[in-house]
Structure 1
Amino acid sequence: MEIKYTAKDILEKDFKTGMRGYNQDEVDHFLDDIIQDYEKFSKQMEQLQNENKRLRAEIDEAPRKQATPAPGTTNFDILRRLSHLENHVFGNKLNNE
């Protein structure tokens, strides 16, 4: 995505006037509003790009950890804990209805 115009390009744009042309003051006012929005968008884009770089750097620097069960934990222990959790969650819902 390439940006065609800068805020300065918009500010310095000169339109030809015709016999039944647009109201020049109205066009100038509208372009002033566009320039202000354009500058805000540019600043916001720069902030987001900087934040994106920072977050990517944090991800790259973060140690890679894999989820591993605690020592001494077996599959049976994990299944038992899941069963207790299901009973707690779904048991409460069934009792409340």
Structure 2
Amino acid sequence: MSLNRVQLNGKDILEKEFKTAMRGYNQEEVDEFLDMIIQDYDAFKQEIERLQQENERLKKNTQEHTRTRSSQPAQQVNYDVLKRLSNLEKAVFGKKFADANNANESS
């Protein structure tokens, strides 16, 4: 919901005048109810403003994070290269070296 579509504010509700009729509503009861509505409107407006500020803060953080990540080189682990290296170690140094190396990596 856009704030531009909100038609009333707390002041509009407070200053609203109703005509009285013979069998009309209890004016005090209506006033109390309108007071609650005013409080709700004010609370919603404050919450919307808080959320908008948080949204802006998060957007800035996201932009900064994206900028930081794009300036750093990507650190990817190429598991295929690691597997080939492990196989090469087994072939060159024998199974005992590869087993000892694997035991050290797992601990």
Q: TM-score, normalised by structure 1?
A: 0.68
Higher helix share: 2
- 2:9 aligned with 1:6: yes
Amino acid at match of 1:75: D
> C-alpha offsets along residues 25-59 of structure 1, whole Å, 9 cap, x if unaligned?
00000000110111011111100000000110111
- 2:80 aligned with 1:75: yes
- CA drift at 1:75: 2.4
3-state SS in 2 of match to 1:38:
helix
The equivalent of 1:64 in structure 2 is 69
Unaligned runs of at least 5 residues, structure 2: 84-107
Provide the identity percentage. 49
Amino acid at match of 1:55: L
Counterpart Cα distance in 1 of 2:39 and 2:24 = 25
The equivalent of 1:30 in structure 2 is 33
Counterpart Cα distance in 2 of 1:18 and 1:43 = 36
The equivalent of 1:53 in structure 2 is 56
Report how many residues are paired. 76
Greater RCO, 1 or 2 (C-alpha within 8 Å, sep 6+): 1
Q: TM-score, normalised by structure 2?
A: 0.63
Counterpart Cα distance in 2 of 1:75 and 1:14 = 77
